[in-house]
Amino acid sequence: MGYENIRMETDEGVAILTIDRPKSMNALNHQTLTELAHAFDAVAQDEAVGALVVTGAGEKAFVAGADIAEMSELGAAEAQCYSRFLQESLDALERSPKPVIAAVNGFALGGGCELAMACHVRIAARSARFGQPEVNLGLIPGAGGSQRLPRIVGRGRALDLILSGDMIDADEAHRIGLVNHVVAPDELAGFVGEYAGKLQGKSPLALRRALEAVVSGAECAQDDAMRFEASLFALCFASEDMREGTRAFMEKRKASFTGR
């Protein structure tokens, strides 16, 4: 698939996906969403890729939200289909078998905040801003924001952000747990690159099982999630990576994982 609104690059096993609509503050229109869904699937299936970084073009915006002009033309039935398409696309990202890192370089509002929340780790420039301002348009979040935000920051903080529609800065986002790391704007790319590179040294199978345990386990009752964790833990013991990792530890050397 040829991309018009996103760019894909790969650097030493790390795929870098850049949403490239800077004149529209990287707003998510239907074409962009279709391209993102295709790119997410391609990365998940590419054995040469160990991690994915998602970011926005330019210095102002990660993703400033949905394309309001396009969205305003929808009827109620079309809006429900649109919401489900958004949700399914971001669900696929969250369920990626490979770590996904959001490099938030600017405004992450509405759909942009929802996209960041679907990533497994969020690293923000200090100039970044976050928010779910849909109520200001007579709307509510439609790409999973009303569900992911409470799970990440707690119900009270999530309701405060969703009901007020207010923006918060990167430091506040870090304080409430929405963001994992905050760095200076000119250090963002380097920090994210180092973080993704660090993950490249881990067992791909262990990363995959850990992601599966956390993401899928969160949807279960705790007893069921514990049993699920135990089954994934056991599967690790059937892998060459587990044998290599434990052997390397005892031999006091760096492990060389193969993903098998």
Q: Is residue 196 a contact partner of residue 111, using CB atoms and an 8 Å limit?
A: no
Partnered with residue 11 across adjacent β-strands are 14
Q: Are 192 and 123 contacting, i.e. CB atoms less than 8 angstroms apart?
A: yes
Tell me how far apart the alpha carbons of residues 150 and 86 are, in angstroms, rounded to a whole number.
18
Give, in order, the Cα–Cα distances in Å from 222 to each of 120, 133, 137, 213, 218.
Answer: 21, 33, 38, 12, 8
Active-site hit among 88, 94, 134, 219: 134
> Residue length, the chain?
260
Query: Residue 47 catalytic?
Result: no
Q: Cβ neighbours of residue 147 under 8 Å, at least 6 residues apart?
A: none
The rounded Cα 28 to chain-centroid distance in angstroms is 15
Q: Tokens at residue 172, please?
A: 């506040």
Active site residue 240: no
Q: Looking at 97-249, which runs of residues are DSSP E strands?
A: 100-104, 107-109, 121-125, 129-131, 167-169, 181-183
**Among 94, 114, 240, 244, the one annotated catalytic:** 114
Q: Return d(Cα 113, Cα 238) in angstroms, integer.
A: 38
Return the structure tokens found at 70: 């396009």
Q: By the 8 A CB rule, do 89 and 40 touch?
A: yes
Where in the sequence numbering do the catalytic residues fall? 114, 134
